[in-house]
Amino acid sequence: MFRVRVNTSSKAYDIEIETGLFKKLPQLFRSRYQGRRMALISDDRVFALYGEKFFRKLREQGFDAIAVTFPERQKNLRTLERIYNALADASFTRSDYVIALGGGVTGDMAGLAAATFLRGMGFILIPTTLLAMVDSSIGGKVAVDMDQGKNLIGAFYQPDAVYTDPGLLTTLDNRCFSDGMAELIKQSVIRDKDLFYFIETSENRSGLTGQLDEIIGESCRLKAAIVEQDERDTGLRQILNFGHTIGHAIEKVQNYQGLTHGEAVSVGMIFITRITERLGLTRPGTLQRLEGILKSFDLPVTMPPVDRTELAQAIRIDKKSRSGFITVAYLREIGECDLIGWSFEELEEHLFAQLEN
Ligand SMILES: NC(=O)c1ccc[n+]([C@@H]2O[C@H](COP(=O)([O-])OP(=O)(O)OC[C@H]3O[C@@H](n4cnc5c(N)ncnc54)[C@H](O)[C@@H]3O)[C@@H](O)[C@H]2O)c1
């Protein structure tokens, strides 16, 4: 069992990571949360795979529990309202718990419900995608999307506990797994060269078999350390945006119908490193290793066909470029990252030069 303690100004809690943990949870919950009511939130797919049985077991352990399910990827106000209604109809109180069983969509939305219903109730995360295990379940960012943009309504709300069972990933499809690998590779390449090497030598998904508890544990430790120093995302946490400035722009230009988030970040990491290696800011050879590891996990390293003017425009309207300057995270070498401020025109010039290569 790996245990990562997260100390934030609002809450201190543990992330417990162990293959096989999920099966033990109903009984464990009885010893930890007896007498509390539980609202289990899952999308339809995860509920069918894991939620239904888990819900039954919770009730067998004597919990007064309700379940709220929703169609996949519906992280919006309509689903949030359904959760509020279910909590209100069942007269949930502040000492009761919302349990998010699912990926980042479920965690973000259930977290926002927990943060706002009665101005804050108990919140437990059971992440079921790799992305949720290494990224969205750490740091307390909770939100829903609007038609006008992603994550527009949100809050910072830390969970009371995170229970991570890498065994649940066996049912995850390869594309979704690779999506999470993009974030995992990003965390290692900005902060931990040993973890990067460990992943690099594992080569592919099957090479990670038996290593996931450790890798996910290390990755949680890295993100937790950054979040602890910058809970509200005003400074150090910006290094987690490595690859995201260009990545977000690709997603936007493709109207969120093209590359997945992880795939877009993969291309973003490559392009920013191509720029900074050429400028002499990044140690030579870094790009090659980054390309190698991303490719081995089936992540793209070339720009999809997008209009470069639209791409530049999308970067300009990204929230990080409001002042005309963009803070960009870049690699000094594998395992070391820094921030640099560029005017929008500078970034555009560097990017266009790389797109022509
Ligand atoms: N809060 C944060 O800090 C943060 C960070 C990164 C991303 N996010 C958010 O996370 C969301 C993306 O998360 P995601 O990629 O986990 O998406 P998701 O929750 O939609 O899950 C992806 C798909 O995988 C399925 N699935 C989940 N677990 C499964 C399993 N074990 N086996 C089989 N299928 C399974 C789901 O049903 C869904 O269809 C986005 O909304 C993004 O904004 C939040």
Type of residue found at 259:
L
C-alpha of residue 334 to centroid of ligand 1, in Å: 27
- The pLDDT score that the predictor gives to residue 203 is 86
Type of residue found at 81:
E
Structure confidence at residue 230 as a pLDDT band (50, 70, 90): confident
**Strand, helix or coil for residue 148:** coil
- The pLDDT score that the predictor gives to residue 266 is 98
Provide residues with CB under 6 Å of ligand 1. 43, 45-46, 49, 72-73, 75, 102-106, 108, 128-129, 131-132, 135-136, 139, 141, 150-151, 168-169, 171-172, 176, 179
Type of residue found at 9:
S
**The pairing of beta strand 122-127 with beta strand 65-70:** unpaired
**CB-based contact 263:179 (threshold 8 Å):** yes
Q: Could you tell me the two tokens for 271? A: 């392009």
**CB-based contact 128:168 (threshold 8 Å):** yes
**Closest of 65, 126, 82 to residue 100, by C-alpha:** 126
- The pLDDT score that the predictor gives to residue 316 is 84
Q: What is the mean pLDDT of residues 23-45?
A: 97
Q: What is the mean pLDDT of residues 269-279?
A: 97
Average pLDDT over the chain, rounded to an integer: 94
Indicate if 174-356 has the same CATH topology as 2-171.
no
Q: Which fold has domain 2-171?
A: Rossmann fold (3.40.50)
| pTM score of the predicted model | 0.95
For residue range 100-128, what is the model confidence (pLDDT) as tens digits? 999 999 999 999 999 999 999 999 999 99
Residue 82, pLDDT > 60, answer yes
C-alpha of residue 133 to centroid of ligand 1, in Å: 10
Q: Could you tell me the two tokens for 239? A: 């290094």
Type of residue found at 16:
E
In Å, how far are 134, 155, 162, 225 from 139, measured between CA atoms?
10, 11, 11, 10
Structure confidence at residue 322 as a pLDDT band (50, 70, 90): low
| CA–CA dist 87, 92 (Å, integer) | 5
Q: Could you tell me the two tokens for 119? A: 């101005």
| CA–CA dist 232, 34 (Å, integer) | 32
C-alpha of residue 75 to centroid of ligand 1, in Å: 10
List the residue whose alpha carbon is closest to atom 37 of ligand 1. Answer: 45
Q: What is the mean pLDDT of residues 14-26?
A: 98
| CA–CA dist 351, 348 (Å, integer) | 5
CATH architecture entry for 174-356: Up-down Bundle (1.20)
Every domain of the chain and the residues it spans: 2-171, 174-356
Helix axes 308-317, 244-253, angle to 10 degrees: 120
**CB-based contact 315:355 (threshold 8 Å):** no
Q: Could you tell me the two tokens for 302? A: 């070339």
**CB-based contact 101:50 (threshold 8 Å):** yes
